[in-house]
Amino acid sequence: MFSVKGDTDLDPFLGLGTTTRIAAQNERNSVGYEIDGSLTPLIESNLGDLGKDVKITISNREPFST
């Protein structure tokens, strides 16, 4: 809503990737983070039909512990 074509949106709580999907459809870049690995298939499904314009990088990391 408050960006222009070519801007990059940061979504620290990716969820299902809806913000990233809308950003791509409106010619914005988007970077999202999600710590719940169980959402990976849903995110890929939600973003998958955007085609070659979307690069999905998924990395696993160990939870922080004290």
For the chain, the domains span: 8-53
For residues 18 and 46, the answer to whether their CB atoms sit within 8 Å is yes
Confidence check: pLDDT of 52 > 70: no
Q: What is the average per-residue pLDDT within 6-35? A: 90
Rounded CA gap, 19 and 24, in Å?
9
Q: Is 17 left (phi over 0), alpha (psi -120 to 50) or beta?
A: left
Q: What is the average per-residue pLDDT within 28-54? A: 83
Query: What's the pLDDT score for residue 25?
Result: 87
pTM: 0.71
Between 21 and 59, the more confident residue is: 21
